[in-house]
Structure 1
Amino acid sequence: MVGVLEGFATIAIIVAVGWLLADRRVLDESAQVNLSRLAFHVASPALLLTVMQRTSLDAVLSANLVTSLISFATVVGVYLVVARIRWAGGSLGSRLIGGLSAAYVNAGNLGIPIALYVLGDVAWVAPTLLMQLLIITPIAMALFDSDARGERPTLGRSLRRMLGNPITLGAVAGLLIAVLDVHLPRVVAAPIDLLGAMAVPSMLIAFGISLRRGPRPAAGHTAGHVWTLVALKVALMPVVALGVGLALGLRGQALFAVVVTAALPTAQNIFTYAVRYRREVNLARDAIFVSTFVSVPVIVGIAALFHAFAGV
């Protein structure tokens, strides 16, 4: 359990730095936007390239990957149905932010330490990371770009948007390097690693600024929407992952891994996307903030149950 608490504490401290900088008026809303732009256009693509080129494809192409994909699709589907009933209207971008907030897990800066300390191996979180980076993110980016331009999404336009999006390009470049077994010279790899290291701090500091300068989280008329997203993320998604994993024959540590991964909170990436495309910024921020706190006892409870009944 120490790994779980360390992962959450690291995030909380960096977010607090952003909050303090905003409170002392060192940084303001323009800094929040600029940090998000830096993360979106430069740091995140570099980080994704680094992560993907070091990910073993043999470790991720498994039932774990299928379970993650089905769990994601199921929760997004449930959200879209609920949103159509309770929050009619809204743009495609707004629905995308809601769907991603409900199902896109923090598999990077939280998932990796939790996989290492709770699951015992970072490889357990790799399938979800791969699914989100190479399947979900390119599709979402293409749809966001179409929505921002007021265009009707088509296959041709979506493919062009995917190939022109920095997030997608970074992930695809990393995958190609891994598949082709290319070894980048140190003079090229070192700057990429350094740029990638800015991604998570930039996103978290921007998030902290938003918490200080924006409205109180999960307050007012959006509270019901936020708590619906949190319930889908940290309650429904692990249950779906458990059912799908059992149906696919996963047992023991493999099943434990997919359930814990599904219970991770909403990723900070979604806040960056919301700022970049100016869609539901406060909703994304609040879903991330609340789900992060709620997921702590949920993950601890899942670990206790598996330890007691499955001997994991």
Structure 2
Amino acid sequence: MADVVAGLAVFGAVIAVGWLLVRARAVPADADGVLTRVCFFAATPALLVTTLSRADLTAVVSRSTAVAVAAELAAIVSAWCLHRLVLRRSTAEATIGALASGYVNAANLGIPVAVLVLGDAATIAPILLLQLLVLTPVTFTVLDAVTRRGNPSRLATLTVPLRNPLLWGVVAGTAANLGGVNLEEWCGGYPAQGLEMLGRVAVPLMMLALGMSLAGAPRPLRNTAADEPAQASQPSSPAHPVHAVQEPLTTGSDQGVRAAEQAVDQPPQANEPHTPDAASSSLRGAGRRSGLWLAVGWKLAVMPGLAAVVGLTAGLSGAQLLTPVVTASLPTAQNVFMYASRYGVGKDLARDAVLLTTAGFVPVVLLAAAILR
């Protein structure tokens, strides 16, 4: 337990350095976006290749990781039902609310937390695959259908995961492992040295980028847009989107990232409906808050609880049970905010869920480690 607390304290110190760099104007306010892309396109894929190439794959594909996958799916599906049927949200809003309740930050925070608490970054690979191969395409398909705002090409939607460097990092590392390829002996070991060097900077860059993003993040529960239905208006820009609290947007190319950012920054159209009166704004604000607290509570309490119940049912205990519980405790990924911005629905809910779950996940992880380690 003491080593987990000490490790999280070190992470906190590095995050604080990133925050101070922006607040002291030593780096540009948008420097977190640059670091995030470095991690996404280079450092994190390299870390995944080196880690998985020498990992014990029986630990990666195990009951623990299967329980983590099952818990995430159960949390998202059940949260969607609550947002849609109890809170009476539209299909698009319920989809964003469900993702805010269960789509975990598996890359930028999942990898360092897995290294610190579980001792192995490879355990996060099945969650990455679930999110890249299943949740992202399904999300785009649903939101494209109900908002009619997405890319009209179904092929582009279905091939999103194939353009993601994180996926190829997992594939390359796993293939090297299964093929018995020793990267340190391949081509004189020089490619392995380059990958090791890039992989070593992934975690500190993630933490610095997180701190930088928090320096300019808006306060939760502050409206930046009216969150009108997607058919009514284009998304407007938030005060400062927190690019680095997440897995970067899974379009897998600079063009895709730029397209998403343009969607975030696109101004409202001239034919946008008139500003609603104070009464309707108040009702909408109360509804947004109820959706937000449902998402945050589901993410930080219910989803780890689901992981624990499913794990106990599967016969897990102790350190084995810690893997799915810690994975379920990870905060909401920034991808959710990017999806909400792209489709112009649930933006405030997604943004605030990212911020609040990022701020609140540490006590949940510490509690899980104290009980199960």
Q: Could you state the TM-score of these two structures normalised by the residue count of structure 2?
A: 0.66
The structure-2 alpha-carbon separation of the partners of 1:94 and 1:238, relative to structure 1 and needing over 3 Å to count, comes to closer
Counterpart for residue 299 of structure 2? 233
Cα distance in structure 2, aligned partners of 1:24 and 1:214? 15
Moved more, 297-306 or 67-76: 297-306
The structure-2 alpha-carbon separation of the partners of 1:150 and 1:75, relative to structure 1 and needing over 3 Å to count, comes to same
Native 8 Å contact 1:103 1:233 kept in 2? no
Task: Give 1:179 deviation, angstroms.
Answer: 0.9
Equivalences for 1:277-296 in 2 at 5 Å?
A: 286-296=352-362
Q: Which runs of 5+ in 2 are unaligned?
A: 224-284
Cα distance in structure 2, aligned partners of 1:133 and 1:80? 21
Equivalences for 1:192-211 in 2 at 5 Å?
A: 192-211=195-214
Task: Give 1:191 deviation, angstroms.
Answer: 1.3
Counterpart for residue 309 of structure 1? none
Native 8 Å contact 2:29 2:216 kept in 1? yes
Native 8 Å contact 2:117 2:369 kept in 1? no
Amino acid at match of 1:88: S
Q: Which runs of 5+ in 1 are unaligned?
A: 117-121, 307-311
The structure-2 alpha-carbon separation of the partners of 1:48 and 1:276, relative to structure 1 and needing over 3 Å to count, comes to farther
Cα distance in structure 1, aligned partners of 2:170 and 2:317? 30
Amino acid at match of 2:47: L
Moved more, 238-247 or 100-109: 100-109
The structure-2 alpha-carbon separation of the partners of 1:40 and 1:126, relative to structure 1 and needing over 3 Å to count, comes to closer
- Which structure has the larger Rg over C-alpha atoms? 2
Counterpart for residue 264 of structure 2? none
Cα distance in structure 2, aligned partners of 1:45 and 1:264? 23
Cα distance in structure 2, aligned partners of 1:198 and 1:282? 32
Instruction: Report the RMSD for the aligned CA atoms in angstroms.
Output: 3.6
Counterpart for residue 88 of structure 1? 90
Cα distance in structure 1, aligned partners of 2:300 and 2:95? 23
Amino acid at match of 2:128: L
SS in structure 1 of the partner of residue 159 of structure 2: helix
- Determine which structure has greater relative contact order: mean sequence separation of CA pairs < 8 Å that are 6+ residues apart, divided by chain length: 1
The structure-2 alpha-carbon separation of the partners of 1:12 and 1:46, relative to structure 1 and needing over 3 Å to count, comes to same
The structure-2 alpha-carbon separation of the partners of 1:133 and 1:201, relative to structure 1 and needing over 3 Å to count, comes to same
| CA deviation vs aligned residue, 1:161-192 (integer Å, no higher than 9, x gap) | 32222121111111111111111232101111
Native 8 Å contact 2:36 2:206 kept in 1? yes
Task: Give 1:157 deviation, angstroms.
Answer: 4.8
Counterpart for residue 331 of structure 2? 266
Native 8 Å contact 2:21 2:212 kept in 1? yes
The structure-2 alpha-carbon separation of the partners of 1:214 and 1:261, relative to structure 1 and needing over 3 Å to count, comes to closer
Native 8 Å contact 1:21 1:209 kept in 2? yes
Q: Which has the higher helix share?
A: 1
The structure-2 alpha-carbon separation of the partners of 1:139 and 1:187, relative to structure 1 and needing over 3 Å to count, comes to same
Native 8 Å contact 1:242 1:259 kept in 2? yes
The structure-2 alpha-carbon separation of the partners of 1:215 and 1:253, relative to structure 1 and needing over 3 Å to count, comes to closer
Cα distance in structure 1, aligned partners of 2:364 and 2:93? 32
Native 8 Å contact 2:11 2:207 kept in 1? yes
Native 8 Å contact 1:263 1:298 kept in 2? no
Counterpart for residue 98 of structure 1? 100
The structure-2 alpha-carbon separation of the partners of 1:168 and 1:287, relative to structure 1 and needing over 3 Å to count, comes to same
Counterpart for residue 312 of structure 2? 246
Task: Give 1:286 deviation, angstroms.
Answer: 4.6
Q: How many pairs are equivalent? A: 295
Residue 183, structure 1, aligned to residue 248, structure 2: no
Native 8 Å contact 1:17 1:205 kept in 2? yes
Task: Give 1:87 deviation, angstroms.
Answer: 4.7
Native 8 Å contact 1:102 1:232 kept in 2? no
Residue 171, structure 1, aligned to residue 170, structure 2: yes
Equivalences for 1:119-138 in 2 at 5 Å?
A: 122=120, 126-127=122-123, 129-138=124-133
Moved more, 238-247 or 91-100: 91-100
